Structure 1
Amino acid sequence: MEIVARTIGNTAGLWLATRLLSGLSVPEGVGTTQMWLNLAVLGLVLALVNSLVKPVARFLAFPLYIVTFGLFALVVNGAMLLLAGWLTDRIEALGAGGSVPLGLEVSSFGTAVVGSIIVSVISSIIAALLLPRED
Structure 2
Amino acid sequence: MNSAQESATSVVVTLSGCSREDADAVFRTLGRSFESDRAAGDAPQYVSEGHATVWTTTFDVVRTQEDAEPVRLAAPVTAELQGGYWAVDRMQATLAAAFDLLEEGMAAGDQEKDVQLRLSSGVHQEET
Shorter-chain TM-score: what band? 0.3 to 0.5
Q: Which has the larger radius of gyration?
A: 1
- TM-score (normalizing by structure 2): 0.32
Q: Which has the higher helix share?
A: 1
- TM-score (normalizing by structure 1): 0.31
Q: Which has the higher strand share?
A: 2
